[in-house]
Chain A
Amino acid sequence: MTYDILITGLIIIAQILAVVVPVLISVAFLVYAERKVLALIQLRRGPNIVGPFGILQSFADALKLITKENIIPSGSNKIVFILAPIITMVLSLAGWAVIPFAPGWVVSDINVGIMYLFAVSSLGVYGIIMAGWASNSQYPFLGALRSAAQMVSYEVSIGFVIITVLLCVGSLNLSKIVLAQQTVWFAIPLLPMFIIFFISALAETNRLPFDLPEDESTLVAGFFTEYSSASFVLFFLGEYASMILMSSMTVILFLGGWLPPFDVYPLNVVPGVMWFTVKVIFILFLFIWVRGTFPRYRYDQLMRLGWKVFLPFSLFWVVATSGFLVYFDMLPN
Protein backbone atom coordinates (compact mmCIF):
# COMPACT_ATOMS: atom_id res chain seq x y z
CA MET A 1 0.00 0.00 0.00
CA THR A 2 2.58 2.55 1.14
CA TYR A 3 4.99 1.06 -1.38
CA ASP A 4 2.49 1.82 -4.17
CA ILE A 5 2.12 5.41 -3.02
CA LEU A 6 5.90 5.77 -3.03
CA ILE A 7 6.17 4.40 -6.57
CA THR A 8 3.34 6.69 -7.78
CA GLY A 9 4.99 9.67 -6.14
CA LEU A 10 8.34 8.87 -7.76
CA ILE A 11 6.69 8.52 -11.17
CA ILE A 12 4.96 11.90 -10.74
CA ILE A 13 8.24 13.55 -9.73
CA ALA A 14 9.98 11.98 -12.73
CA GLN A 15 7.23 13.29 -15.04
CA ILE A 16 7.51 16.79 -13.57
CA LEU A 17 11.29 16.77 -14.02
CA ALA A 18 10.89 15.49 -17.58
CA VAL A 19 8.85 18.59 -18.36
CA VAL A 20 10.52 21.26 -16.21
CA VAL A 21 14.15 20.52 -17.09
CA PRO A 22 13.65 20.80 -20.88
CA VAL A 23 11.60 23.97 -20.33
CA LEU A 24 14.40 25.58 -18.30
CA ILE A 25 17.04 24.54 -20.84
CA SER A 26 14.91 25.92 -23.68
CA VAL A 27 14.61 29.19 -21.73
CA ALA A 28 18.41 29.46 -21.80
CA PHE A 29 18.49 28.87 -25.54
CA LEU A 30 15.55 31.22 -26.11
CA VAL A 31 17.48 34.04 -24.46
CA TYR A 32 20.45 33.23 -26.70
CA ALA A 33 18.21 33.03 -29.79
CA GLU A 34 16.56 36.34 -28.92
CA ARG A 35 19.90 38.12 -28.60
CA LYS A 36 21.14 36.55 -31.83
CA VAL A 37 17.98 37.38 -33.84
CA LEU A 38 17.87 40.94 -32.51
CA ALA A 39 21.54 41.31 -33.39
CA LEU A 40 20.88 40.12 -36.94
CA ILE A 41 17.92 42.53 -37.26
CA GLN A 42 20.18 45.39 -36.12
CA LEU A 43 23.17 44.24 -38.26
CA ARG A 44 25.29 43.30 -35.23
CA ARG A 45 26.94 40.01 -34.32
CA GLY A 46 25.36 39.31 -30.95
CA PRO A 47 26.92 36.95 -28.39
CA ASN A 48 29.80 35.07 -30.06
CA ILE A 49 32.47 34.55 -27.41
CA VAL A 50 31.31 31.90 -24.89
CA GLY A 51 31.30 28.49 -26.54
CA PRO A 52 30.89 27.86 -30.27
CA PHE A 53 28.87 30.77 -31.81
CA GLY A 54 28.37 32.07 -28.25
CA ILE A 55 25.83 29.33 -27.59
CA LEU A 56 26.74 29.02 -23.90
CA GLN A 57 26.31 32.75 -23.24
CA SER A 58 23.05 32.34 -21.25
CA PHE A 59 24.59 29.73 -18.95
CA ALA A 60 27.54 32.03 -18.29
CA ASP A 61 25.17 34.92 -17.55
CA ALA A 62 23.07 32.78 -15.20
CA LEU A 63 26.17 31.63 -13.29
CA LYS A 64 27.42 35.20 -13.02
CA LEU A 65 24.07 36.45 -11.69
CA ILE A 66 23.59 33.64 -9.18
CA THR A 67 27.04 34.05 -7.66
CA LYS A 68 26.47 37.77 -7.07
CA GLU A 69 25.31 39.19 -3.77
CA ASN A 70 21.54 39.25 -3.25
CA ILE A 71 20.64 42.75 -2.09
CA ILE A 72 17.40 43.24 -0.16
CA PRO A 73 16.61 46.95 0.27
CA SER A 74 16.26 47.93 3.94
CA GLY A 75 12.98 49.77 3.31
CA SER A 76 11.39 46.80 1.59
CA ASN A 77 8.79 44.43 2.94
CA LYS A 78 11.17 41.48 3.16
CA ILE A 79 8.86 38.46 3.06
CA VAL A 80 6.78 39.73 0.14
CA PHE A 81 9.96 40.94 -1.59
CA ILE A 82 11.42 37.43 -1.52
CA LEU A 83 8.11 35.70 -2.30
CA ALA A 84 7.40 37.73 -5.47
CA PRO A 85 10.07 36.23 -7.79
CA ILE A 86 9.36 32.75 -6.42
CA ILE A 87 5.66 33.11 -7.27
CA THR A 88 6.47 34.38 -10.77
CA MET A 89 8.77 31.43 -11.43
CA VAL A 90 6.45 28.78 -9.94
CA LEU A 91 3.41 30.04 -11.85
CA SER A 92 5.24 30.12 -15.16
CA LEU A 93 6.21 26.47 -14.62
CA ALA A 94 2.86 25.31 -13.17
CA GLY A 95 1.03 25.79 -16.47
CA TRP A 96 3.18 23.12 -18.13
CA ALA A 97 1.36 20.41 -16.16
CA VAL A 98 -1.51 20.32 -18.67
CA ILE A 99 0.30 20.97 -21.97
CA PRO A 100 0.04 17.94 -24.30
CA PHE A 101 3.30 17.66 -26.27
CA ALA A 102 2.18 14.61 -28.27
CA PRO A 103 -0.73 12.15 -28.00
CA GLY A 104 -0.64 11.02 -24.35
CA TRP A 105 2.49 13.06 -23.52
CA VAL A 106 0.96 15.13 -20.76
CA VAL A 107 1.57 15.18 -17.00
CA SER A 108 -2.07 15.74 -16.09
CA ASP A 109 -4.78 15.31 -18.73
CA ILE A 110 -7.57 17.17 -16.90
CA ASN A 111 -11.06 18.02 -18.20
CA VAL A 112 -10.67 21.74 -17.72
CA GLY A 113 -7.14 22.05 -19.13
CA ILE A 114 -7.68 25.32 -20.96
CA MET A 115 -9.37 26.89 -17.92
CA TYR A 116 -6.39 25.83 -15.81
CA LEU A 117 -3.97 27.48 -18.24
CA PHE A 118 -6.10 30.63 -18.27
CA ALA A 119 -6.21 30.68 -14.46
CA VAL A 120 -2.46 30.19 -14.11
CA SER A 121 -1.67 32.89 -16.66
CA SER A 122 -4.05 35.30 -14.90
CA LEU A 123 -2.27 34.66 -11.60
CA GLY A 124 1.02 35.75 -13.15
CA VAL A 125 0.21 39.38 -12.35
CA TYR A 126 0.66 38.74 -8.61
CA GLY A 127 4.40 38.22 -8.85
CA ILE A 128 4.69 41.61 -10.52
CA ILE A 129 2.35 43.51 -8.19
CA MET A 130 3.97 42.02 -5.10
CA ALA A 131 7.44 42.86 -6.38
CA GLY A 132 6.44 46.43 -7.13
CA TRP A 133 4.77 47.00 -3.80
CA ALA A 134 7.35 45.25 -1.62
CA SER A 135 10.26 47.15 -3.16
CA ASN A 136 8.91 50.32 -1.53
CA SER A 137 10.24 52.47 -4.33
CA GLN A 138 8.54 54.65 -6.94
CA TYR A 139 9.66 53.08 -10.21
CA PRO A 140 8.78 49.49 -9.30
CA PHE A 141 5.45 50.65 -7.88
CA LEU A 142 4.53 52.45 -11.10
CA GLY A 143 5.56 49.37 -13.06
CA ALA A 144 3.36 47.18 -10.88
CA LEU A 145 0.32 49.45 -11.30
CA ARG A 146 0.77 49.52 -15.06
CA SER A 147 1.11 45.79 -15.18
CA ALA A 148 -2.01 45.17 -13.07
CA ALA A 149 -4.20 47.28 -15.34
CA GLN A 150 -2.63 45.90 -18.51
CA MET A 151 -2.89 42.22 -17.66
CA VAL A 152 -6.49 42.48 -16.45
CA SER A 153 -7.45 44.29 -19.67
CA TYR A 154 -5.92 41.81 -22.06
CA GLU A 155 -7.19 38.79 -20.16
CA VAL A 156 -10.73 39.76 -21.16
CA SER A 157 -10.06 39.49 -24.88
CA ILE A 158 -7.99 36.30 -24.36
CA GLY A 159 -11.04 34.86 -22.60
CA PHE A 160 -13.28 35.62 -25.56
CA VAL A 161 -10.77 34.14 -28.01
CA ILE A 162 -10.66 30.96 -25.93
CA ILE A 163 -14.48 30.83 -25.89
CA THR A 164 -14.56 31.08 -29.71
CA VAL A 165 -12.19 28.14 -30.02
CA LEU A 166 -14.13 26.14 -27.42
CA LEU A 167 -17.35 26.69 -29.39
CA CYS A 168 -15.71 24.87 -32.30
CA VAL A 169 -14.33 22.07 -30.11
CA GLY A 170 -17.02 21.29 -27.54
CA SER A 171 -14.53 20.39 -24.81
CA LEU A 172 -12.15 22.14 -22.42
CA ASN A 173 -9.59 19.35 -22.63
CA LEU A 174 -6.40 20.43 -24.42
CA SER A 175 -5.88 17.07 -26.15
CA LYS A 176 -9.42 17.22 -27.52
CA ILE A 177 -8.82 20.78 -28.71
CA VAL A 178 -5.84 19.52 -30.70
CA LEU A 179 -7.72 16.52 -32.07
CA ALA A 180 -10.59 18.78 -33.21
CA GLN A 181 -8.14 20.42 -35.64
CA GLN A 182 -7.47 17.26 -37.66
CA THR A 183 -9.43 18.54 -40.67
CA VAL A 184 -8.27 22.15 -40.50
CA TRP A 185 -6.18 24.17 -38.05
CA PHE A 186 -8.24 26.82 -36.28
CA ALA A 187 -5.77 29.48 -37.44
CA ILE A 188 -7.41 29.34 -40.88
CA PRO A 189 -11.17 29.69 -40.13
CA LEU A 190 -10.50 31.87 -37.07
CA LEU A 191 -7.62 33.92 -38.47
CA PRO A 192 -8.66 37.25 -36.87
CA MET A 193 -8.95 35.58 -33.46
CA PHE A 194 -5.50 34.01 -33.96
CA ILE A 195 -4.04 37.47 -34.53
CA ILE A 196 -5.88 38.94 -31.52
CA PHE A 197 -4.70 36.05 -29.35
CA PHE A 198 -1.09 36.51 -30.45
CA ILE A 199 -1.15 40.26 -29.72
CA SER A 200 -2.88 39.70 -26.37
CA ALA A 201 -0.26 37.08 -25.54
CA LEU A 202 2.42 39.72 -26.14
CA ALA A 203 0.60 42.01 -23.69
CA GLU A 204 0.01 39.23 -21.17
CA THR A 205 3.70 38.31 -21.03
CA ASN A 206 4.75 41.99 -20.88
CA ARG A 207 6.69 41.75 -24.12
CA LEU A 208 7.41 44.58 -26.52
CA PRO A 209 5.55 46.55 -27.84
CA PHE A 210 3.60 46.24 -24.57
CA ASP A 211 6.44 46.04 -22.05
CA LEU A 212 5.34 49.15 -20.15
CA PRO A 213 5.70 47.48 -16.70
CA GLU A 214 9.47 47.30 -17.28
CA ASP A 215 9.80 50.23 -19.65
CA GLU A 216 13.52 51.01 -19.37
CA SER A 217 13.32 54.47 -20.91
CA THR A 218 10.89 55.78 -18.27
CA LEU A 219 10.92 53.39 -15.29
CA VAL A 220 14.60 52.27 -15.10
CA ALA A 221 13.67 48.58 -15.09
CA GLY A 222 10.06 48.70 -13.90
CA PHE A 223 8.92 46.24 -11.28
CA PHE A 224 12.27 44.50 -10.85
CA THR A 225 14.39 47.62 -10.47
CA GLU A 226 15.36 46.69 -6.89
CA TYR A 227 16.08 43.02 -7.61
CA SER A 228 19.54 41.59 -7.95
CA SER A 229 21.34 38.26 -8.42
CA ALA A 230 19.25 35.08 -7.88
CA SER A 231 15.90 36.81 -7.38
CA PHE A 232 16.44 38.72 -10.65
CA VAL A 233 17.26 35.42 -12.35
CA LEU A 234 13.94 34.01 -11.14
CA PHE A 235 12.04 36.94 -12.71
CA PHE A 236 14.01 36.57 -15.91
CA LEU A 237 13.45 32.81 -16.14
CA GLY A 238 9.79 33.28 -15.24
CA GLU A 239 9.23 35.81 -17.99
CA TYR A 240 10.78 33.63 -20.67
CA ALA A 241 9.14 30.43 -19.40
CA SER A 242 5.74 32.10 -19.53
CA MET A 243 6.59 33.31 -23.04
CA ILE A 244 7.16 29.71 -24.11
CA LEU A 245 3.99 28.69 -22.25
CA MET A 246 1.90 31.29 -24.10
CA SER A 247 3.45 30.16 -27.40
CA SER A 248 2.50 26.55 -26.70
CA MET A 249 -1.00 27.73 -25.79
CA THR A 250 -1.21 29.51 -29.16
CA VAL A 251 0.03 26.38 -30.93
CA ILE A 252 -2.52 24.17 -29.16
CA LEU A 253 -5.44 26.52 -29.75
CA PHE A 254 -4.73 27.57 -33.34
CA LEU A 255 -1.89 25.65 -34.98
CA GLY A 256 -3.01 22.10 -34.33
CA GLY A 257 -0.61 21.15 -31.50
CA TRP A 258 1.29 18.00 -32.40
CA LEU A 259 -0.57 17.43 -35.70
CA PRO A 260 1.36 17.60 -38.98
CA PRO A 261 0.18 20.26 -41.47
CA PHE A 262 -1.07 17.57 -43.88
CA ASP A 263 -1.77 13.96 -43.01
CA VAL A 264 0.35 12.55 -45.87
CA TYR A 265 3.22 10.07 -45.88
CA PRO A 266 6.52 11.87 -45.23
CA LEU A 267 4.91 14.37 -42.85
CA ASN A 268 2.91 12.04 -40.62
CA VAL A 269 5.85 9.79 -39.69
CA VAL A 270 7.59 12.70 -37.97
CA PRO A 271 6.89 12.34 -34.23
CA GLY A 272 4.23 14.72 -32.86
CA VAL A 273 6.57 16.29 -30.34
CA MET A 274 8.78 17.46 -33.22
CA TRP A 275 5.86 19.23 -34.91
CA PHE A 276 4.90 20.77 -31.58
CA THR A 277 8.43 22.07 -31.01
CA VAL A 278 8.77 23.45 -34.52
CA LYS A 279 5.48 25.37 -34.18
CA VAL A 280 6.40 26.73 -30.75
CA ILE A 281 9.76 27.90 -32.13
CA PHE A 282 7.93 29.62 -35.00
CA ILE A 283 5.66 31.53 -32.57
CA LEU A 284 8.65 32.42 -30.38
CA PHE A 285 10.42 33.76 -33.46
CA LEU A 286 7.37 35.97 -34.08
CA PHE A 287 7.67 37.23 -30.48
CA ILE A 288 11.30 38.21 -31.07
CA TRP A 289 10.63 39.60 -34.53
CA VAL A 290 7.91 41.89 -33.12
CA ARG A 291 10.36 43.04 -30.43
CA GLY A 292 12.92 43.90 -33.07
CA THR A 293 10.59 45.86 -35.33
CA PHE A 294 7.85 47.70 -33.42
CA PRO A 295 8.12 50.79 -31.21
CA ARG A 296 6.65 50.69 -27.70
CA TYR A 297 2.99 51.63 -27.27
CA ARG A 298 2.02 54.63 -25.19
CA TYR A 299 -0.02 53.64 -22.13
CA ASP A 300 -3.33 55.19 -23.19
CA GLN A 301 -2.94 53.64 -26.65
CA LEU A 302 -2.40 50.28 -25.00
CA MET A 303 -5.59 50.60 -22.97
CA ARG A 304 -7.53 51.82 -26.02
CA LEU A 305 -6.36 48.84 -28.06
CA GLY A 306 -7.40 46.42 -25.33
CA TRP A 307 -10.80 47.79 -24.41
CA LYS A 308 -12.01 49.64 -27.50
CA VAL A 309 -10.64 47.50 -30.31
CA PHE A 310 -10.00 43.93 -29.17
CA LEU A 311 -12.89 43.56 -26.71
CA PRO A 312 -15.73 44.57 -29.09
CA PHE A 313 -14.14 42.72 -31.98
CA SER A 314 -13.63 39.46 -30.09
CA LEU A 315 -17.14 39.73 -28.60
CA PHE A 316 -18.52 40.11 -32.12
CA TRP A 317 -16.59 37.06 -33.25
CA VAL A 318 -17.96 34.96 -30.39
CA VAL A 319 -21.50 35.86 -31.47
CA ALA A 320 -20.70 35.43 -35.18
CA THR A 321 -19.01 32.05 -34.69
CA SER A 322 -21.78 30.66 -32.51
CA GLY A 323 -24.41 31.98 -34.94
CA PHE A 324 -22.59 30.36 -37.87
CA LEU A 325 -22.24 27.03 -36.04
CA VAL A 326 -25.91 26.97 -35.03
CA TYR A 327 -27.20 28.04 -38.45
CA PHE A 328 -25.23 25.42 -40.38
CA ASP A 329 -25.82 22.85 -37.65
CA MET A 330 -22.07 22.36 -37.18
CA LEU A 331 -22.00 22.48 -33.39
CA PRO A 332 -19.82 19.69 -31.93
CA ASN A 333 -21.71 16.76 -30.32
Chain B
Amino acid sequence: MILYSLTFYLFSSVAVLSALMVISAKNPVHSVLFLILSFVNASGLFVLLGAEFLAMILVVVYVGAVAVLFLFVVMMLDINFVKLREGFLQYLPFGALLGIVLVIELGILFLTDRSSNIYNNQTPLQPIVNEVENTKMIGQILYTEYFYLFQICGIILLVAMIGSITLTLRDKGGVKRQNIDSQNTVDASTAIEKKKVKIGEGI
Protein backbone atom coordinates (compact mmCIF):
# COMPACT_ATOMS: atom_id res chain seq x y z
CA MET B 1 0.00 0.00 0.00
CA ILE B 2 2.81 2.40 0.92
CA LEU B 3 4.65 1.40 -2.23
CA TYR B 4 1.51 2.06 -4.26
CA SER B 5 1.06 5.57 -2.84
CA LEU B 6 4.76 6.30 -3.29
CA THR B 7 4.66 5.35 -6.96
CA PHE B 8 1.47 7.36 -7.42
CA TYR B 9 3.08 10.49 -5.95
CA LEU B 10 6.26 9.89 -7.97
CA PHE B 11 4.41 9.62 -11.28
CA SER B 12 1.99 12.47 -10.60
CA SER B 13 4.61 14.91 -9.29
CA VAL B 14 6.94 14.23 -12.22
CA ALA B 15 4.01 14.60 -14.62
CA VAL B 16 2.98 17.96 -13.13
CA LEU B 17 6.55 19.25 -12.93
CA SER B 18 7.33 18.27 -16.50
CA ALA B 19 4.07 19.86 -17.65
CA LEU B 20 5.25 23.06 -15.96
CA MET B 21 8.60 22.74 -17.70
CA VAL B 22 6.83 22.38 -21.06
CA ILE B 23 5.60 25.96 -20.83
CA SER B 24 8.62 27.41 -19.06
CA ALA B 25 11.55 25.78 -20.87
CA LYS B 26 13.52 28.25 -23.00
CA ASN B 27 14.36 25.81 -25.76
CA PRO B 28 11.36 24.48 -27.79
CA VAL B 29 13.01 21.07 -28.22
CA HIS B 30 13.37 20.81 -24.44
CA SER B 31 9.66 21.66 -24.17
CA VAL B 32 8.75 18.75 -26.42
CA LEU B 33 11.05 16.41 -24.49
CA PHE B 34 9.34 17.45 -21.23
CA LEU B 35 5.97 16.87 -22.90
CA ILE B 36 7.09 13.32 -23.68
CA LEU B 37 8.16 12.82 -20.06
CA SER B 38 4.74 14.04 -18.98
CA PHE B 39 3.00 11.58 -21.34
CA VAL B 40 5.09 8.69 -20.05
CA ASN B 41 4.23 9.53 -16.45
CA ALA B 42 0.55 9.82 -17.33
CA SER B 43 0.73 6.32 -18.78
CA GLY B 44 2.36 5.21 -15.52
CA LEU B 45 -0.69 6.60 -13.68
CA PHE B 46 -2.95 4.60 -16.02
CA VAL B 47 -1.03 1.44 -15.10
CA LEU B 48 -1.59 2.22 -11.41
CA LEU B 49 -5.32 2.52 -12.12
CA GLY B 50 -5.28 -0.94 -13.67
CA ALA B 51 -5.93 0.40 -17.17
CA GLU B 52 -2.86 -1.22 -18.72
CA PHE B 53 -4.26 -1.21 -22.27
CA LEU B 54 -4.88 2.56 -22.20
CA ALA B 55 -1.42 3.09 -20.75
CA MET B 56 0.25 1.20 -23.60
CA ILE B 57 -1.92 2.90 -26.25
CA LEU B 58 -0.94 6.28 -24.78
CA VAL B 59 2.74 5.41 -25.14
CA VAL B 60 2.40 3.89 -28.63
CA VAL B 61 0.21 6.63 -30.13
CA TYR B 62 1.23 9.81 -28.35
CA VAL B 63 4.84 9.15 -27.42
CA GLY B 64 5.77 6.77 -30.23
CA ALA B 65 4.14 8.60 -33.13
CA VAL B 66 2.61 12.02 -32.39
CA ALA B 67 5.45 13.37 -30.25
CA VAL B 68 8.04 12.10 -32.74
CA LEU B 69 6.38 14.25 -35.41
CA PHE B 70 6.17 17.19 -32.97
CA LEU B 71 9.87 16.88 -32.29
CA PHE B 72 10.54 16.50 -36.00
CA VAL B 73 8.72 19.76 -36.79
CA VAL B 74 10.13 21.72 -33.86
CA MET B 75 13.69 20.67 -34.72
CA MET B 76 13.26 21.63 -38.37
CA LEU B 77 11.54 24.99 -37.88
CA ASP B 78 13.62 28.00 -37.00
CA ILE B 79 11.35 29.46 -34.33
CA ASN B 80 12.39 32.69 -32.67
CA PHE B 81 11.20 31.98 -29.17
CA VAL B 82 12.30 35.28 -27.68
CA LYS B 83 9.82 36.98 -29.99
CA LEU B 84 7.07 34.52 -29.08
CA ARG B 85 7.62 35.23 -25.40
CA GLU B 86 7.23 38.97 -25.75
CA GLY B 87 3.47 38.83 -25.22
CA PHE B 88 3.78 36.63 -22.13
CA LEU B 89 2.81 39.27 -19.55
CA GLN B 90 0.07 40.57 -21.81
CA TYR B 91 -1.65 37.17 -21.96
CA LEU B 92 -0.96 36.30 -18.33
CA PRO B 93 -4.25 37.67 -16.88
CA PHE B 94 -6.31 35.86 -19.52
CA GLY B 95 -4.45 32.57 -18.95
CA ALA B 96 -4.75 32.93 -15.19
CA LEU B 97 -8.50 33.55 -15.54
CA LEU B 98 -8.89 30.33 -17.56
CA GLY B 99 -6.92 28.42 -14.93
CA ILE B 100 -9.03 29.83 -12.07
CA VAL B 101 -12.27 28.91 -13.87
CA LEU B 102 -11.01 25.36 -14.35
CA VAL B 103 -10.03 25.04 -10.67
CA ILE B 104 -13.44 26.35 -9.56
CA GLU B 105 -15.21 23.88 -11.85
CA LEU B 106 -13.18 20.98 -10.50
CA GLY B 107 -13.87 22.19 -6.96
CA ILE B 108 -17.62 22.24 -7.61
CA LEU B 109 -17.40 18.75 -9.06
CA PHE B 110 -15.63 17.36 -6.01
CA LEU B 111 -17.76 19.16 -3.43
CA THR B 112 -21.16 18.13 -4.79
CA ASP B 113 -23.07 15.18 -3.29
CA ARG B 114 -22.42 12.87 -6.19
CA SER B 115 -18.69 12.88 -5.71
CA SER B 116 -18.81 12.96 -1.93
CA ASN B 117 -20.34 9.49 -2.22
CA ILE B 118 -17.11 8.38 -3.73
CA TYR B 119 -15.28 9.25 -0.54
CA ASN B 120 -17.94 7.63 1.63
CA ASN B 121 -17.77 4.42 -0.37
CA GLN B 122 -14.08 4.19 0.47
CA THR B 123 -12.93 3.59 -3.07
CA PRO B 124 -9.94 1.27 -2.98
CA LEU B 125 -6.67 2.96 -3.82
CA GLN B 126 -5.39 -0.11 -5.53
CA PRO B 127 -6.68 -1.28 -8.92
CA ILE B 128 -9.72 -3.51 -8.97
CA VAL B 129 -8.59 -6.91 -10.18
CA ASN B 130 -11.11 -8.17 -12.69
CA GLU B 131 -11.58 -11.61 -14.13
CA VAL B 132 -11.78 -10.06 -17.61
CA GLU B 133 -8.77 -8.24 -19.05
CA ASN B 134 -9.49 -4.59 -19.69
CA THR B 135 -8.48 -4.96 -23.36
CA LYS B 136 -11.38 -7.38 -23.71
CA MET B 137 -13.71 -5.12 -21.73
CA ILE B 138 -12.94 -2.12 -23.94
CA GLY B 139 -13.46 -4.24 -27.05
CA GLN B 140 -16.76 -5.61 -25.79
CA ILE B 141 -18.21 -2.16 -25.17
CA LEU B 142 -16.58 -0.38 -28.14
CA TYR B 143 -17.83 -2.78 -30.80
CA THR B 144 -21.34 -3.20 -29.42
CA GLU B 145 -22.74 -0.17 -27.62
CA TYR B 146 -20.55 2.49 -29.21
CA PHE B 147 -20.18 0.81 -32.59
CA TYR B 148 -21.66 3.67 -34.69
CA LEU B 149 -19.72 6.33 -32.79
CA PHE B 150 -16.58 4.29 -33.31
CA GLN B 151 -17.24 4.10 -37.06
CA ILE B 152 -17.93 7.85 -37.20
CA CYS B 153 -14.57 8.50 -35.48
CA GLY B 154 -12.91 6.43 -38.16
CA ILE B 155 -14.63 8.38 -40.94
CA ILE B 156 -13.68 11.73 -39.36
CA LEU B 157 -10.06 10.61 -39.25
CA LEU B 158 -10.24 9.46 -42.87
CA VAL B 159 -11.68 12.81 -43.97
CA ALA B 160 -8.97 14.67 -42.05
CA MET B 161 -6.32 12.50 -43.65
CA ILE B 162 -7.64 13.03 -47.18
CA GLY B 163 -7.94 16.76 -46.47
CA SER B 164 -4.36 17.12 -45.30
CA ILE B 165 -3.08 15.10 -48.25
CA THR B 166 -4.97 17.21 -50.80
CA LEU B 167 -3.75 20.41 -49.10
CA THR B 168 -0.09 19.42 -49.22
CA LEU B 169 0.02 17.49 -52.48
CA ARG B 170 1.51 19.62 -55.22
CA ASP B 171 2.00 17.93 -58.54
CA LYS B 172 4.75 20.02 -60.01
CA GLY B 173 5.65 19.20 -63.58
CA GLY B 174 9.07 17.94 -64.48
CA VAL B 175 9.53 15.67 -61.46
CA LYS B 176 11.20 12.42 -62.43
CA ARG B 177 9.78 9.44 -60.60
CA GLN B 178 11.11 5.95 -60.46
CA ASN B 179 8.76 3.42 -62.07
CA ILE B 180 9.88 0.13 -60.60
CA ASP B 181 7.64 -2.07 -62.76
CA SER B 182 8.86 -0.56 -66.02
CA GLN B 183 12.46 -0.91 -64.80
CA ASN B 184 11.96 -4.54 -63.93
CA THR B 185 10.39 -5.38 -67.29
CA VAL B 186 13.33 -4.00 -69.25
CA ASP B 187 15.21 -6.59 -71.30
CA ALA B 188 17.67 -6.47 -74.17
CA SER B 189 14.95 -6.09 -76.83
CA THR B 190 13.46 -2.95 -75.24
CA ALA B 191 16.65 -1.40 -73.90
CA ILE B 192 18.93 -1.70 -76.93
CA GLU B 193 18.11 -0.35 -80.35
CA LYS B 194 20.24 -1.30 -83.31
CA LYS B 195 20.81 1.30 -86.00
CA LYS B 196 22.69 1.23 -89.23
CA VAL B 197 24.77 4.38 -89.32
CA LYS B 198 26.17 5.49 -92.61
CA ILE B 199 29.83 6.37 -92.56
CA GLY B 200 30.47 10.05 -92.17
CA GLU B 201 26.85 10.98 -91.26
CA GLY B 202 26.17 10.10 -87.67
CA ILE B 203 22.70 9.77 -86.19
Q: Which residues of A contact B (CB under 8 A)?
A: 5, 77, 80, 110-112, 115-116, 118-119, 122-123, 125-126, 129-130, 133, 141, 144-145, 148-149, 151-152, 155, 171-172, 300-301, 304
Q: Give chain A nearest CB distance to B51 CB in angstroms.
A: 10
* B36–A126 CB distance below 8 A: yes
Q: Which residues of B contact A (CB under 8 A)?
A: 2-3, 27, 29-30, 33, 36, 52-53, 55-57, 59-60, 63-65, 68-69, 71-72, 75-76, 133-135, 178, 180
* A115–B72 CB distance below 8 A: no
* B52–A119 CB distance below 8 A: no
Closest to B74 in A: A133
* B64–A123 CB distance below 8 A: yes
Bound CA–CA A34/B113 (angstroms)? 67
Q: Could you say which residues of chain B place their CB within 8 Å of the CB of A171? A: 133
Q: Could you say which residues of chain A place their CB within 8 Å of the CB of B75? A: 129, 133, 141, 144-145
In addition to A77-B29, A148-B72, A301-B178, 15 A-B residue pairs with Cβ atoms within 8 Å of each other are A5-B3, A112-B55, A115-B60, A116-B56, A119-B60, A119-B64, A122-B60, A123-B59, A125-B64, A126-B36, A129-B71, A133-B75, A148-B68, A149-B72, A152-B69
* B60–A80 CB distance below 8 A: no
Closest to B1 in A: A1
Q: Could you say which residues of chain B place their CB within 8 Å of the CB of A152? A: 65, 68-69
**SS of A interface (majority):** helix
Closest to A149 in B: B72
* A155–B64 CB distance below 8 A: yes
Bound CA–CA A80/B29 (angstroms)? 10
Q: Could you say which residues of chain B place their CB within 8 Å of the CB of A304? A: 178, 180
Bound CA–CA A298/B33 (angstroms)? 30
Closest to A111 in B: B133
Q: Give chain A nearest CB distance to B152 CB in angstroms.
A: 21
Bound CA–CA A317/B3 (angstroms)? 45
* A111–B135 CB distance below 8 A: yes
Bound CA–CA A149/B75 (angstroms)? 13
Q: Which 5 pairs across A and B sit closest by C-beta, in order of nearness?
A: A122-B64, A115-B56, A119-B59, A112-B52, A111-B133
Q: Could you say which residues of chain B place their CB within 8 Å of the CB of A5? A: 2-3
Closest to A171 in B: B133
* B65–A122 CB distance below 8 A: yes
* B64–A115 CB distance below 8 A: no
Bound CA–CA A130/B75 (angstroms)? 10
Q: Give chain B nearest CB distance to A240 CB in angstroms.
A: 22
Closest to B60 in A: A119
Q: Could you say which residues of chain A place their CB within 8 Å of the CB of B72? A: 129, 145, 148-149
**Most chain A beta-carbon contacts within 10 A, residue among B27, B63, B68, B76:** B68
* B69–A115 CB distance below 8 A: no
- Could you list 12 A-B pairs, sorted by A, with CB under 8 Å? A5-B3, A80-B29, A80-B30, A115-B56, A122-B65, A125-B64, A129-B72, A133-B29, A141-B75, A145-B75, A148-B68, A155-B64
Q: Could you say which residues of chain A place their CB within 8 Å of the CB of B135? A: 111-112, 172
